[in-house]
Structure formats: C-alpha cells, structure tokens
Structure 1
Amino acid sequence: MLLFFFSMLLISGISYAQTYENLLTNPGFEDGIGSPWWSNSQAHCFSDNNSFHSGSKSLRITLEKPAGDCVWVGQGIKVTAGESYSIGTWIKTEDVTAPGAQIFIEWSGPSGWLGGEWNAEKLIGTQDWQYTGLGGVKIPEEATSASVFLGLLKGSTGTAWFDDAIAKKYAKDLMRAFVLHPNYGGKILPGALSPEIRVEITLNPEEHGWTLNELELRVELRNEVGGSVAQKDVKPISSKSFCVDLDISSDTEPGDYDLSIALYEAMDAKLLAESTYRIEKLSQDDLARLTSYIDRYNRFILDGKPFFPLGLYVVQYLSDTSQLNEIADRDSPFDTLMNYNINNGTDAEITDYLNQLQARNLKLIFSLKDYIGHGQEDIDTITHKMNTFKNHPAIISWYMNDECGLEYLPELEALYQKARELDENHPVWSVHWNTDWLIKEAHTTDIVGVDPYPIDNSPITLVSQMADAAEEARKPLWLVPQIFDWRDYPDDPRASTGRPPTREEMRAMSYLAINHGAKGLIYYSYFDIRNDADYETRWKEIK
C-alpha cells in the first residue's frame, strides 16, 4: 500500500507520480545495437566503447554527407492507448549540422502509421553529454503500438552518440484535487456566492491497490493557528470524480487560511494523501488594492471593469514606435500586445516602451517565458523584472510558459509560486499546443491558452476542439487564433500546404473561440504578416 503525502501552498494543484520502470530493453547499448533495437541504415550506426555516458558502451551515428532521410535506431515499446508517457536520452555531438540529433516517438494502429511527437530538443554543433526528452506524450486512442527512435535528422551531418535512453509511463496519483472556487490566487472576494469553496476531486484507487469503499475524504478550512473554520467529511462510494462544496460563515474574518483536502484509509484513519492550498478571504479594502483579478465567471477584471484582451504577438524593437502607431490606429480594434522582444533593452528602455504603450492606450502581456532552465538565475531575473515593472499601468499579465513540456514542471511550479509572492495584481498566462501538457501544468498558471493553427492543414474546427479540451484545466482561456501563413515557416511540414487565412476564416476562428469559452484573443502573429509582401492588404483584412 502506498503512503503518499503532497503539500503545496498554491491555489490548485495537480501532481502526477511517475513509475520508473524503463520500457526500453538494453537502453544503454551495453549489449550492442542489435535486437530489440533496429536501424534503417546499419552502415552509419555503430556500437561505441570509446565514448559513453555510463557503463562501457553507447550508440554512435555518423554521417559524412546528408542522407535522404533521418538515420535512426529504434525500438518498439508496450503502450496503452490514452495513457501518457515520457521519453528521454543522453546525447553527445561532434560537428553536427542542423537540424540535429534527436529522440522522438511514433505510433501506429490497425490502419498503419498514425503520427508521433518530434518536439524534443535537437542538438547541433559540438556538445558534451546532455539529457533531452519529452514528457507527457499522450498515446492516441486509436494507437496499438509505439516505437522510440534515436537519430540524426534528415539533412544533418556529423557524429552523435546516444546513451541511457528511457521510456516510462506516467501513473496518476491516488488523489487529484483541483480548487474550482475561489478561482484566482485563492482569493475569496467580498460578496462571493455560496459555496465560497468548491473542490473537484478525482481518485484513482485501483492503481494503488485500494477500492473506493476503503477510503474517506475530509475537506477542511483552517485558520492560521490550525483551528477548524469549516469542515466536510465525504465517503466516496458511487463516483471516482466528484465535487465537494464548503460554505464559509459570513462572519468569518478576512485573512489567510489553509484549505486541506485529505484522503484517509477508512478502517484506521491512516493518511494516504493530502493537498494543502492557501486561501485568502478579502475585505473591501483588500479588493480595492487589486488593479486586476479574475472573477467567479473567469472574466478578467481590469480597474474594476471586465476587460477582454484583443491582442497580437509582436517582435518589436523597443524604440520602434512605427508599429505601435499602426496597431493603435483608430481603425484597429487591438488593445494588447505580447512582445517577444520586451527584454532586449535596459530597464530604462523597457520603461520608456511601456510609457509609449500607455500613451496609445495599449496594454502589454510581459514575456518572461525565456527565463527557465537555469535554476536560481531565472528566479533572480524574474524577481528583478517583476519588482521593477509590476506597477506600470500598461502591464496586464505575465507570460511565463510558451509550450514547455512536463520535464520543466518543477521549475514552472517554483516560478509560478515566486510570481504569486511578488505580484498579486497581475495573472500569469501560459500557452500550449499540447492540451495534455496544458492540463497537467494548469496549477502553474492563472490563465491558459491554446494555439490552434488549422489553415490549411486541419479542419477549422480544430479551434473549438482545442478550446473544449482546455476546459479540463478549469481556468480562464485566452486563445491564440491564426493570422499567419504557414509558408512563413518553410522548415515546418505544414508549409507545403500553407496559405494565409481568409478574412472569413479569421472571423470564423474568432467566433469559434469565443463560443467555446475564450475570454481573450491574442492573434499570432503580427510580426509574420508584417514581413509578407502583401502586408498592407492583409493588415486591412485583419483589422
């Protein structure tokens, strides 16, 4: 029986415990590169006992000239449709040219090949051993088999070594708890409707050797000295997934509280799992301090009024006001920018740029998405950025996660906690194309985003499909509709059928997003269309 304890002082929390059984056989190539590994080009794949990450051997792939296809070594693994897996390996490179060395996974079904995931980091140049991989890869429901591949991608030359590969299945925790209300920063607003607290709980007893009738649940709000303010005991008999409501007395004083969701063995009251969340009951004075927040209906409230951001992704030099003038033109409906270039300047230059935005009634989603992967250095940088700029009226949100996989989850949790400590006035926004990652990382953001780009490779209803999938995150949605032409990205396979979305298609994507719950639209991307030859025509259509 598993005794598991998890405590987190963040509003909403989802954690996934991992099993550590490696699904790959001979992952370190100590037994050579024969079965169950196989290769599509044995002339370029070798067992190497001169360079290795651990043990005494590794896989080496060498290409003196570009091959007509990826050169790889692969192995099939047992998978279950609908479940999530992670893959990874250590890679060393010598004079590798782009696109580089990579690990990837593909799957098939009764009708043949179905696709895969190829978004692990690609290593180029000359680098010592480095770990790279993918987390949270969800196997499609129609898939019956999968294979992991290590390779030099099409067009690459050089030498790459691979060692200590891993493929493993994610196992869900015994208990998953998600706080639905209060839905922003754990803040109970004055006049909040009953129930003031609502928790969604999902149990997975079978994976941990339990049955539902052996479990009991307690949801309790405690004051700062540990005294019980409100409590509800639940016997989960008929449903594995359910909501628990907790009403708070109207005479409960404003202040900080802890919300505990604890799962016990019914027979002897042994604690099996617990999640703890910080809850703050606000007074009217507390609410008046907030220049922005998210209300019970997932609307973004700015200066006391609902605000629906209609924005653009841009890449602007901070001194370039020409683009600001075009976007702020009276014929333009856009009011918000997400500038990838915001940090390419001194503090004084960033402040001046923010002033230029404010003068044109434009708002900014401040990008912090590049500050991940460097530990304390990232914490220090984000601390400086937030403390320096958080009081500027042009800022409405922090952009902290741009497609980060589950391998970054511990860092995302730490960065989000730091953001909430530093600035209670501005929500954090995160965007994903992988809705499985989005759901599993939902506790590291206040607002979620998805970026469906269907034109012209998928049905336009991809927009509503991804918006509906994002509902499981139980967060407000600022969706990223497509205005760019896939041909602006010639290395992407979708470029071959790319074209600009028509005015009607852009309008349809916008309405699909809104009808399926979006509370903001940030279009991708102004910087792509501005570089296109037909910019003037396209910009008029987009406005």
Structure 2
Amino acid sequence: MLLRRAATCVALWALTLALTGTGQTLPNLEFASLNLAGNPGFEALNEDGWPAGWSMPETAFMLSTLSPRDGRFCLRWTNSDPEHYVRCATGLSLQAGKRYDLEAWVVTEGLAGEGGGATVRIEWVGKDGKVLGGVNPAGLTGTSDGWKRLRITTDPIPKNVESASLICVVPKGCTGAAFWDDILVRPYYPPLVTGMVTDAYQHTTAGGTVLVKAGLNLPDWELAPDTVIAELSVLDSRGGVVCTAPPAKLEATEVVFSLDTAPLPVGEFQLSCDVRNPDGTKSGKASCGLVRVTELRERMVRIDGSNRLLVSGEPFFPLGVWWNEVNPWLLETYCKGPFNCIVLPGSRPAAQFDMVAARGLKIICSLQDFYAGGKDCPAALRSEADEQSVLEAVVTALRDKPAVLAWQLAHQPAPELLPRVAAHREWVEKLDSSRPLWVVAGRADELPLFVSQADVLGLGTYPVPQSPCGDVLRDTLLALKSGLGCRAVWMLPQAFDWAAYKTDPKEKKNCRAPTLEEMRSMAWQSIAAGATGLIFWSWQDLWKMDRTVAEGGQALSREPFADRWRDLCQVADEIRRYVPVLTSLEPYIAPDEVDLSPAVALRSHGKDGQTYIFAVNSRNEPTTGRLHFKGNPTVTVEFGKADPPSRQGQIYLSFAPLEVKVLRLSVPPSTAAAVLPTAIAPADQPVQQ
C-alpha cells in the first residue's frame, strides 16, 4: 500500500506539471513521495477497528470497504438530517511560513444541499484554540462520476499557529453520501519554470525582434542564475529545431530571450524554454506558440505594448460590473451609472447582447459556461466532445457585433482544466482573432499556468471582512508579475457581501459588505499597482442582499440596493474622471527620491503637460511618506486629504487608513524641458511595495 501510494504521489505531481505546459525534474524522490498526512488511505486501524490517528465521530462517518480507490478501506459519510454536522479530523504538523499542497480523492452519491459539498480541509488554530484560518478546495455535490481529485495550495502558514488539523467534511445542510481516500499533504514546491510569453501580440510577428520571457523560481530550488543553463529552441510543426537562442537576461525570477524572427518562414512554430543545472538533476521547461506572417493586419480591438486596450486605435479603460443576465428596467438603472461596459455570459440569448449594445455599452462576453460538467453549462453541452461545436456556434453568432469588446475564456478554472482552456483558446482565435482573450484565475498562484492562453489576466480578490484590504494590492502585483510585463491585467474588485453566498445564519452574521472607503481603496489599489481595467463583482449579488431570506433573498437584515449602488457608482465615477489620464502615455515628472511605506502603491501619468500621481494606502492604519522632485513643482491635491505645501521639491504625504490621494504637479515653464523625461509607459514605472 505504501509503495503504491508513493507511486501515485509521483504520478499526480507529473500530471500537474504536464497540465501547466511545463516539465520539471523533481529535486529528489524523497520529496516526491513525502506525505505529511497520517494514515492517508485509512488502512491502519486501531484496536477499535477505526482508522488510527483519525477522530471517531459517533454518527455519520464510518469505515467502508465499498469500492475504495486504493487498498482495502476508504472513509464514508452518510447523513439524512440537514441539521446534523460532524467532522472527521487528524492532527497535522505544519511549519510557519511554508505553503502546502492538499489533495484528496472524493466520491459523492446523491449529495444535496448548499454550502459547497464534500471536501477536505486544512485548518489551523492559535494558542487560545481559536481558529485562525484554513483552506479547502471546492467540494463535490450530486452523484459524481467515479473518484474525483480535489486539490488546493495553502497560503504561507502564519507564525502564530499552534496546531493544525486535516479534516474530511461535508457542510451543514447537506444530505446524501460521500467517500474519501488517498489524501496527500506535502510542502508546496513551485515549478522551476512557470509561464512563458512573448511581447508579440497574440504571439504573432511579421519579422523583427521578439522578446520571449519565462518565469523562474530558482531560489525555491536552491539555484542561482550563474548555476543554471537556459536555452530557447524554435521548433517547426514536426518538432524539428529551426534555431536556438541564448538568454539575453537571466535572473532568479525571469529569463528573457531576444529572438530575431525575420529569417523564419511564414508559418506556425513552437517556442520551448529549457532551464537546468549542469548535471540535469534539476530542470524545467515551458513552451508557447509563435506565428510568423508577412504582414500584421489591423485589429478593431487589441492590447498595445503598454498593456492598454485599444478600440479602433483609441485607448479604452474597461470599467464595468459583472452581470448574469440583463433585462430592460435593470439595464436602465445601470446606464445611469458611470460604467462603459458589462460582462455578460455568452450562453444568454443574443437579444440581451443587442439590448446592451443599443444603450452604447461595450460587452465582455464570458465563455466560462462552455466546459462540460460546469454548473451552468448549456443543456446541449453533454460532454467534452460537444464543447467545440457549442462554443463555435456562440462565437460565430456574436463575433460580428461591434459592441463585443473581448472574450472571457475561463473564470476561475481548476488547474486540471488547462488543456481544455488551451483548446478553447485555439477554437476562439480561429473564429475571431480580432479581440483579446481574458482569463480570470481562481488564485494568484494559478495565474502562471494560464498566462500563455490569455492576452489579459484577471483575479478576483474579495477580502472583506475576513482579510486585510491590502490583499488586493498584493494580488494585483502578483498578476502583473505573472504576465512578465507582456499581459494586461483587469481585476475584479469586491462590491458584494459574502453573506450572499452563505446559507448558515451564523456565517451570514460574520459577513458584511465593503464600506465606501474600503471599496474605493481596493479599486484604486489595483489601478495604482498597474491594472488597466476593472470589473466589479457583482450586479446580481447587490440584488440578493436587497431582500431578506424570508423574502427570497440572502440577507438576514436588508441591505438596500439603492445604498450599495450609490456607493459603487461614486467609486466608479471617481475613477472615470481620471480615465483620460490613466490611459495617457505622455511624459511625466518622475521623483528622484521616494520614501514610502511598503503599504503605499504609487502610479504616475502625464497629461496635457501635468503630472498626476495616484497614491493609495493599502493598510487599515495611518502612514506617512515623502517624495522629492527636481524643479520645485507646484502641487495640487485633487483627491484626498490636503497635505502641507511642498517646499523645494519635497512633498510630505500623510495617509489615513486606506486613503486614496491624487496629486497634480506642474513645473514652471522655464524648467520644464530639464525636468520632463521622454515618454515613459506606466508599466515601466516601478511600483512601491
């Protein structure tokens, strides 16, 4: 049993790496077979005949010999009372600051109810016994088609953790049956080579130099840039090597190649990046496509070199809200707000798209529902074999509508879906290569998996009220890092109350909607970090909380839609005011000295001879800082609390918790030529972290 489980562990790791489009050689087999979960297959029994090390609930859980995935036994849960709730747990030894992979195989039979389904969870507590946090993958409901693998990676374990537990659990409110087997917990070991991109839009070039970039995790593998060999290979359609290139830059977190594509013939190629240590015991690989054409064609919509969206050649900052479906009277309310677009599922009738277009709004069409087995996939999509025909029919029907701005290829896809996301990208690009593709990942650490499949990356970070608002700044920076400077980032700020997704009244009581100040700060954190579009989540959730549970809604006490909508519109209107600045590539004055807290994000743009500085305090506590500019500019505080006047180029800043500031700087004409640099794209400006 132990040998079989070790082999399974290695196979699962290899599967994960294959799905990422990368190949990695593990540092040692000892790590590959390591499992921190005690008695993970429930095979070792104590004197009571119960799995050794696991708690023994009096009801619901039992040891089962009914079709275990491996070995003789598995763990079974059966329940007919939705009010009954128990968990089966075992202790777990975790190290502060480390991250861990959690995997489990689960089967469900007739599992009904709300709350997420059967899952496995890691939970940690402090010295006082209070639960400090935990993670679990999305659970299974209904009747699953055989054993399904659930997987998630923890964030770094906090320093104040006293103990941790591994828990098999089904949420309260559920009935039916569930089974667990072959649980795996091990230290998280990131791929040596992560995502790979080029600076050629949609990997298409008409010749000239193309920058090829791949993310690296050398420190995690105890490697340094001078201890590895990196090479780029250009492969033809038969896998033959056309040419190779050495790195132009090799750092701990990134390798860059400069590829002259002029000698390449017209056609499709595969770019392969190989990184290894001299003896080959540690290695990694990533790949992406490249298309050589004779001439680049004009595109109605595209992403430019500064990661701005251009529509008919003009910059466009997507500012919208996520919708499930539209109707005339709700759309009338929305059109009175400051937004320029919406996200609408492609599974909705074409008439809804026409309704939105008639009101002058742009549409990001979400194709997230066209994966077989998904919660909201159309009835015609019965299996993976149906995906291409159903997806192509939708794209063909909508691609000629000028209001369609972009295609959202996937929304929070599991890593296992990567091959299908890649297939969907290929199908959509063949039907419509004139619009960018957007992938919204479920977690920041999953973004590199999908970077080669997207022109735009996205992430929904929803911290209120359980986590700090500053998580948004962290995740936006991670999204930008994942794109290696070659991918736009459109973030999904939180506008909703988590109670809209909870069924237990006790859990609902612990939730609340973000305040106006929190919502403003989270939106501007994304912008200041470098996001070039914002889609707030979500329209339907604002309405869910407008009614109590007794009235058919989700609120314990009503949260009037009008109040929440007013706050959201205020935040969006403040952003809309500065869209012409945020999309400008005019020169700006750069500070020569920066003294700011890591909690403050800073972004600068030039517009009409003025410099605009957008600064955001991401923490819920006051902070101060200082900027120095040559030329003694005149400073006007356009938004936020006014600070003491600048003196001799010194600007002293005082931030309230979560405060947003917008400063406008003017330089005397006599010194402007000496102070204003040549045009610098906002993406080139370092963000203070």
Short-chain TM bin: 0.7 to 0.9
Q: Which sections of structure 1, spanning at least 5 residues, go unmatched?
A: none
- Name which of 339, 342, 347 aligns with 1:343: 347
Alpha carbons of structure 1 residues 385 and 46: separation in structure 2 relative to 1, 3 Å: same
Equivalent AA in structure 2 for residue 470 of structure 1: A
TM-score of the aligned structures, taking structure 2 as reference length? 0.64
DSSP 3-state at the match of 2:387: helix
- Name which of 540, 547, 562 aligns with 1:536: 562
* Within-5 A mapping of 1:175-324: 175-176=193-194, 178-182=196-200, 184-188=201-205, 196-202=210-216, 204=218, 215-220=228-233, 231-232=245-246, 239-246=251-258, 248=260, 256-263=268-275, 274-281=285-292, 286-288=296-298, 290-317=299-326, 320-324=327-331
Alpha carbons of structure 1 residues 144 and 295: separation in structure 2 relative to 1, 3 Å: farther
Q: Tell me if structure 2 keeps the 8 A contact 1:44–1:63.
A: yes
How many residues are matched? 518
- Offset from partner CA, 1:368-417 (integer Å, 9 cap, x none): 11222443322332233223322321212222322223233333333334
Counterparts of 1:221 and 1:207 in 2: how far apart (Å)?
26
Match of 1:388? 397
* Within-5 A mapping of 1:40-439: 41-50=57-66, 52-66=68-82, 69-74=85-90, 76=92, 81-93=97-109, 97-99=113-115, 100-107=117-124, 113-124=131-142, 129-140=146-157, 142=159, 146-168=164-186, 171-176=189-194, 178-182=196-200, 184-188=201-205, 196-202=210-216, 204=218, 215-220=228-233, 231-232=245-246, 239-246=251-258, 248=260, 256-263=268-275, 274-281=285-292, 286-288=296-298, 290-317=299-326, 320-329=327-336, 332-340=337-345, 342-345=346-349, 350=350, 352-372=351-371, 373=373, 374-439=383-448
- Offset from partner CA, 1:180-205 (integer Å, 9 cap, x none): 523x3213479x8xx63142452649
Q: Which sections of structure 2, spanning at least 5 residues, go unmatched?
A: 1-9, 27-31, 374-382, 548-559, 570-689
DSSP 3-state at the match of 1:185: helix
Q: Tell me if structure 2 keeps the 8 A contact 1:365–1:397.
A: yes
Q: Tell me if structure 1 keeps the 8 A contact 2:22–2:285.
A: no
Q: How far has the Cα of 1:242 moved from its partner? A: 4.0
Q: How far has the Cα of 1:462 moved from its partner? A: 2.9
Counterparts of 1:84 and 1:310 in 2: how far apart (Å)?
36
Counterparts of 1:273 and 1:457 in 2: how far apart (Å)?
37
Counterparts of 1:152 and 1:463 in 2: how far apart (Å)?
30
Alpha carbons of structure 1 residues 266 and 117: separation in structure 2 relative to 1, 3 Å: closer
DSSP 3-state at the match of 2:260: coil
Q: Tell me if structure 2 keeps the 8 A contact 1:16–1:171.
A: no
Alpha carbons of structure 1 residues 271 and 75: separation in structure 2 relative to 1, 3 Å: closer
Alpha carbons of structure 1 residues 95 and 229: separation in structure 2 relative to 1, 3 Å: closer
Equivalent AA in structure 2 for residue 333 of structure 1: P
Cα RMSD (Å) of the superposition? 4.1
DSSP 3-state at the match of 2:532: strand
- Name which of 55, 60, 63 aligns with 1:39: 55
Counterparts of 2:286 and 2:497 in 1: how far apart (Å)?
45
Equivalent AA in structure 2 for residue 336 of structure 1: C
Q: How far has the Cα of 1:333 moved from its partner? A: 1.8
DSSP 3-state at the match of 1:39: coil
Counterparts of 2:112 and 2:248 in 1: how far apart (Å)?
58
- Offset from partner CA, 1:502-534 (integer Å, 9 cap, x none): 444433332222111111111111222245262
TM-score of the aligned structures, taking structure 1 as reference length? 0.80
- Offset from partner CA, 1:467-516 (integer Å, 9 cap, x none): 12222211311111222233433437763244444444433332222111
Counterparts of 1:128 and 1:445 in 2: how far apart (Å)?
30
Report the more deviating stretch, 382-391 or 359-368.
382-391
Equivalent AA in structure 2 for residue 164 of structure 1: D
Q: Tell me if structure 1 keeps the 8 A contact 2:113–2:174.
A: yes
Q: Tell me if structure 2 keeps the 8 A contact 1:480–1:524.
A: yes
Q: How far has the Cα of 1:233 moved from its partner? A: 5.6
Counterparts of 1:16 and 1:422 in 2: how far apart (Å)?
34
- Offset from partner CA, 1:66-90 (integer Å, 9 cap, x none): 5664322435366784344131223
- Offset from partner CA, 1:3-35 (integer Å, 9 cap, x none): xx99x9x9x965667846554444333334745
Greater Rg over alpha carbons, structure: 2
Match of 2:666? none
Counterparts of 1:523 and 1:235 in 2: how far apart (Å)?
37
Alpha carbons of structure 1 residues 109 and 371: separation in structure 2 relative to 1, 3 Å: farther
Equivalent AA in structure 2 for residue 376 of structure 1: A
Counterparts of 1:167 and 1:270 in 2: how far apart (Å)?
24
Counterparts of 1:201 and 1:453 in 2: how far apart (Å)?
26
DSSP 3-state at the match of 2:397: helix
Say which structure, 1 or 2, has more relative contact order (CA 8 Å, 6+ apart). Answer: 1
Match of 2:492? 480
DSSP 3-state at the match of 2:462: coil
Q: Tell me if structure 1 keeps the 8 A contact 2:323–2:343.
A: yes
Match of 1:514? 527
- Offset from partner CA, 1:262-297 (integer Å, 9 cap, x none): 346758x999655443223566x5331x22221111
Alpha carbons of structure 1 residues 132 and 359: separation in structure 2 relative to 1, 3 Å: same
Q: How far has the Cα of 1:138 moved from its partner? A: 4.1
Alpha carbons of structure 1 residues 403 and 220: separation in structure 2 relative to 1, 3 Å: closer
Identity among equivalent pairs (%) = 24
Equivalent AA in structure 2 for residue 93 of structure 1: E
DSSP 3-state at the match of 1:439: helix
2:19 is the counterpart of 1:27: no
Counterparts of 1:489 and 1:120 in 2: how far apart (Å)?
13
DSSP 3-state at the match of 1:387: helix
Counterparts of 1:242 and 1:500 in 2: how far apart (Å)?
39
Counterparts of 1:303 and 1:224 in 2: how far apart (Å)?
34
Counterparts of 2:144 and 2:253 in 1: how far apart (Å)?
47
- Offset from partner CA, 1:157-178 (integer Å, 9 cap, x none): 4443333334455544454462
Match of 2:618? none
Equivalent AA in structure 1 for residue 133 of structure 2: G
Equivalent AA in structure 2 for residue 496 of structure 1: K
Alpha carbons of structure 1 residues 400 and 391: separation in structure 2 relative to 1, 3 Å: same
